[in-house]
Structure 1
């Protein structure tokens, strides 16, 4: 087991954020309610730039909040996107009335959660736009460019977008410039050693002494190809040639080059790689306008590096040359004259709000909740539903190591952590709802608590499992088997509308869809028999995912290499239906 310098694995992000803000309190403040890093001295007469993604990639994303860069960063759990509430609250705190541009990597969880955060902002009358970075040329062919992942190219897109915002452009123009930067940025990476999540006993994947992962993602997931160890020059040339072929790089072009370390790779090694890349660019008549060797987009202690080429034209060069500064990244000379500082009164007010929120969280009691009614349940009263969802929450929390192990096989290992975190929040909410008389309100409250807290794709999807089918339903003191089946059918439809997944795509839908079919087919047999059928259908759906390649999430880049492994999301669905059946059976 790798030793990490942490205290409680559940508090890693919170304590990291406290330390980071404390170290750089001259420049930053933390949002009082969510994990948002906000620049204190920022211009107020411009489009606000908000970036974000999972923690664990430091200094990206929080370390790229600064003058001429982002105004704020919405930070999720380790390797998991921020939840919609974090996106919403962070952006709302820096909105100046001219709109908000979001820049983040193109991953399913980030796309879902930032989209929902935008919806909330739009409901408040705040204009938004987004640019998803998809610079990873290894993760999908160019004709499916929007399926590509965002990796170290984030650096150049954030830099350009921040400059365009500071130039005073309106939201439409800022978005156009940021999209142009994104479309001129291409990256490929290799991993020489795996990452390991805090509190997890095993690394996300294992490599032999003579193996490397080619085309790895930023979240520690496997690459698209496992190959033999090769010298730096051989790797650099192979990676450069793939970028050149993908982009049509030609003599006379001008580029910025970033050789980015993934966490444990030294500057010495990055310099050796750049030496070869520069030789190849000189050979092809491509001019290097600027170069950078650093660990900007990391993946915990993963070994390896990526090469990014940012192709310039005169417009992009203008924005690249504009000054910027943050503790981890700076370009040009920057005076502070045009920035309006936050007053001490505002800072004190925010600090008091944070202290109050922390105290309220510590007041939460954790009583043991058991089932009050004996025997097999024929229907679910509001109190039954509350107790059942608490039971399921405890069950999933206990299965965190199991879900982490499953997700680590073909993903980034964060599913168990995300599910446990979301279920804890649902349980906190449910413990306060004793006496609620509307059964649908119980499901809705639990789903919303998960959705607003989990981050990652799982937050939106699993929150919708409870929320979507119950939201807007006529209040009922108890729900029948037919009601529960109808509720889950609505949830399934909402999940598929949001995530676009179908049976066979190696997602939670592979377990949920057959489970819902089984509920409808067996609802007349009573609640227990219906849930037995649903549990078995979900279990078979999990088994079936072993035969599929992935169409969504981290595993989609593995293609056939994902066959033989079960999907973690589908496994969680099975556990939830198993929990329902166990509770009803008593």
Structure 2
């Protein structure tokens, strides 16, 4: 797929955001050091509204910051949630002492990272709350509404939340109004063409020329049915029937309507969709309070569209109608739009970093009996190179049942970890090296993977007494501690088709061999992790974007578990002096 990108695609989000903020510098200011920004004219002495999520869905979320909308935006990597530190800094940039409300789509990575950010902010005395948008009726049954994904319904919820914040209510009342909006919004979409994520060679899924998929998610998650292409009126009729049934719409009900393009569907076709939709609404005497036909929540060049309804009442109408403005979304007349004069665009331009090439060294040839500081540093750099080299492999695995971003996420996280480790030559504390690598992964990867794989290194090493060398016993204790933190945070168990399926047997193997040599322990952990990867092929996914596939996920291995196996394999290869 042809894409207009610069040579180093690992900087795609940074460059996209800098372009946006440079163009609209009179409205926005970047949060120093983070892919986050805030509206220069945000009102004071009110609850602050912060939105965010993975990039690649523009103009959501960056285009929904401004007068009467969000005060700040936290931008993650493509199709991956922002990390907790980034979210925290975005919130602190607009906190007015009245509390911060986070609004974001309900995805595992976003839930984990925003939850952790709230914990960090609350520890600093900042009151927070969140409203997760779960409007995609195709992604889970009605009895599991909190498991549903957030798609184009974000537009309605953010609009109402922004108006409620600007009305001056306290945090509890803003949450009540925002949740009311969320609970009256439902959406369903179809895909006609796949998208390709920047840096990937293959699309996130495949569709034949004469096929479409009902219920497709905005990351390319499989929908509820693959069907033959049909005329617009037939497609719309089915989608309308699903929405009407879900919302129990009746004669006299009133709805706001959004027909949202997913990226490459032209307005000509979207307008036809609305024409067909309006005829059905009119026939059933369901009133259209307001309608919008735009591409607000996209997925790169994905073809297709979604339909969103928000059931209206007098209260919601008041906040929906309140004026707002951003470069991509506006309603009514806003007299308080702030444009800063003379904003310095140089403050947004950062020097481009060159990739660092390094030669892996060891303290001695042959098998290592222990890991000192320098060997630990070089081993982690070797593991980072190994995982980065498997980007396409991990992407291919993830694309089968996910959105194909795992390889990109691991590449970016390991790249940041490697960069940090290269600057830590001479560090003697082994735990500090693991902690530093994990911190970089946590703060750069985003998504659920950022929290989970950052914790793989970070959680086990954090707060440990300094140690200049470790053997199998210390490594086993560290990985057990990391496993506990990961399961405490993510709640996954063996059999849920996650990285835990490889990490649990690996940690068990390390403990069983804690009194043996470091090499024996790592060999056992590698074998156990590999078996854990194989076992994931038998499981139905309980977490992440593959969970909506149910039995369709059987036969495919989990990408996260595969990464765990590669990490232990890389450690073993370094210790055994059998590096690739």
Shorter-chain TM range is: over 0.9
Query: Structure 1: which 5+ runs fail to align?
Result: none
Q: CA deviation at 1:372?
A: 2.5
1:317 counterpart residue number? 317
Q: Find the aligned partners of 2:334 and 2:340 in 1 and give their Cα distance.
A: 19
1:522 counterpart residue number? 513
1:138 counterpart residue number? 138
2:267 counterpart residue number? 267
Q: Deviations over 1:21-69 (max 9, x none)?
A: 1111121122221111211122122111110011110110101111111
Kept in 1, the 8 Å contact 2:199–2:408? The answer is no
2:229 counterpart residue number? 229
Q: Find the aligned partners of 1:225 and 1:155 in 2 and give their Cα distance.
A: 26
Kept in 2, the 8 Å contact 1:215–1:223? The answer is yes
1:552 counterpart residue number? 543
| Shift in alpha-carbon separation, 1:230–1:365, aligned structure 2, 3 A | closer
| Shift in alpha-carbon separation, 1:23–1:340, aligned structure 2, 3 A | closer
Secondary structure in structure 2 of the residue aligned to 1:259: strand
1:73 counterpart residue number? 73
Kept in 2, the 8 Å contact 1:21–1:29? The answer is yes
Q: Find the aligned partners of 2:156 and 2:571 in 1 and give their Cα distance.
A: 48
- Which of 364, 376, 399 is equivalent to 1:385? 376
Q: Deviations over 1:320-370 (max 9, x none)?
A: 01001111111111111xx677686xx66x965x66xx45x8488654232
2:23 counterpart residue number? 23
Q: CA deviation at 1:524?
A: 2.2
1:108 counterpart residue number? 108
Kept in 1, the 8 Å contact 2:26–2:341? The answer is no
1:64 counterpart residue number? 64
Output aligned runs, 1:357-368, within 5 Å.
Answer: 358=350, 362=353, 366-368=357-359
Q: CA deviation at 1:525?
A: 2.4
- Deviates further, 370-379 or 392-401: 370-379
2:559 counterpart residue number? 568
Kept in 2, the 8 Å contact 1:85–1:453? The answer is no
- Match status 1:460 vs 2:451: yes
Q: Deviations over 1:284-343 (max 9, x none)?
A: 22110000111000000000010100001111111001001111111111111xx67768
- Which of 470, 473, 479 is equivalent to 1:479? 470
Output aligned runs, 1:405-484, within 5 Å.
Answer: 405-484=396-475
Secondary structure in structure 1 of the residue aligned to 2:119: helix
Q: Find the aligned partners of 2:356 and 2:388 in 1 and give their Cα distance.
A: 17
Q: CA deviation at 1:281?
A: 1.6
Kept in 2, the 8 Å contact 1:43–1:340? The answer is no
Q: Find the aligned partners of 1:292 and 1:150 in 2 and give their Cα distance.
A: 18
Q: Find the aligned partners of 1:111 and 1:85 in 2 and give their Cα distance.
A: 14
Instruction: Let me know the Cα RMSD of the aligned residues.
Output: 1.6
- Which of 478, 481, 488 is equivalent to 1:497? 488
Instruction: Give me the TM-score of the superposition, normalised by structure 1.
Output: 0.95
- Deviates further, 508-517 or 22-31: 22-31
Kept in 2, the 8 Å contact 1:531–1:580? The answer is yes
1:246 counterpart residue number? 246
Q: Find the aligned partners of 2:62 and 2:549 in 1 and give their Cα distance.
A: 29
Kept in 2, the 8 Å contact 1:83–1:454? The answer is yes
2:4 counterpart residue number? 5
1:48 counterpart residue number? 48
Kept in 2, the 8 Å contact 1:221–1:410? The answer is yes
| Shift in alpha-carbon separation, 1:480–1:201, aligned structure 2, 3 A | same
- Deviates further, 366-375 or 80-89: 366-375
Output aligned runs, 1:536-547, within 5 Å.
Answer: 536-547=527-538
Secondary structure in structure 2 of the residue aligned to 1:20: helix
Q: Find the aligned partners of 1:364 and 1:273 in 2 and give their Cα distance.
A: 47
Secondary structure in structure 2 of the residue aligned to 1:66: coil
Instruction: Give me the TM-score of the superposition, normalised by structure 2.
Output: 0.96
Secondary structure in structure 2 of the residue aligned to 1:452: helix
| Shift in alpha-carbon separation, 1:261–1:365, aligned structure 2, 3 A | closer
| Shift in alpha-carbon separation, 1:51–1:287, aligned structure 2, 3 A | same
